Amino acid sequence: MLIWQNSTTLQCLLCKTVPDSIPHLFCDCQYSREVWTTVCALCNFQTADINLQQIIANQIPRLQSKHIQLDIERLALAATVYFIWRERNSRHHNGGTLPHTKLAMEVFKTLKARLCGIPLKWSSPMEDLCKRWKIPRPSNWPTPDNIHHDA
């Protein structure tokens, strides 16, 4: 990113501690780590990975999975990267700042809106997912009193 600037002291616009770079922005920046940690807490993810580079490396072997929880984790990762980059550019071009908690909430709201737009087939795990995310129950799902669980 220093290539785009005439300055040799361009600091990270999010944490203001080290020179700005892509690896720092997405892997080492304290602000980015706080955003991801907050997103994980809001989404009820159970992940020990804080470093986005580790998170991406852990997602690669699971890319072919069709499990909804993994889809949500991938969406969360993509949205987090997008919003961190957008915040960095906003600070660079507009000078405004957004606390990491508000940025994480934007990620969460975006994920929830995306989940509301996905056609979900009824299953017990999907029912739990809708309750956990407070997503309105699709009208084509059976009513709770008409659901028969195999004993």
Q: What is the pLDDT of residues 22-36, one digit of tens each?
A: 888 887 899 998 998
Taken in order 134, 47, 65, 105, the sign of the CA dihedral is positive
The set of long-range contacts for 128-136, using a CB threshold of 8 Å and a minimum separation of 24, is 129/68, 129/69, 132/44
Taking the C-alpha atoms of residue 65 and residue 114, their distance in angstroms, rounded to an integer, is 19
Q: Classify residue 4: in a domain, yes or no.
A: no
Query: What number of other Cβ atoms are within 10 A of residue 117's Cβ?
Result: 7
Q: How many domains would you assign to the chain?
A: 2
Residue 2 domain-assigned (yes or no) = no
Say what the pLDDT of residue 61 is. Answer: 73
Residue 1 lies in a domain: no
- Cβ atoms 86, 107 nearer than 8 A: no
Low-confidence ranges of the chain (pLDDT < 70): 1-9, 47-53, 62-63, 144-151
Task: Please indicate, yes or no, whether residues 75 and 16 belong to a single structural domain of this protein.
Answer: yes
Assess whether 79 and 17 both reside in one domain. yes
pLDDT in tens, 108-124: 999 989 888 878 777 77
Range of the domain at 130: 122-151
27 HSE (CA, 13 A, CB side): 8
Residue 115 has what pLDDT?
Answer: 85
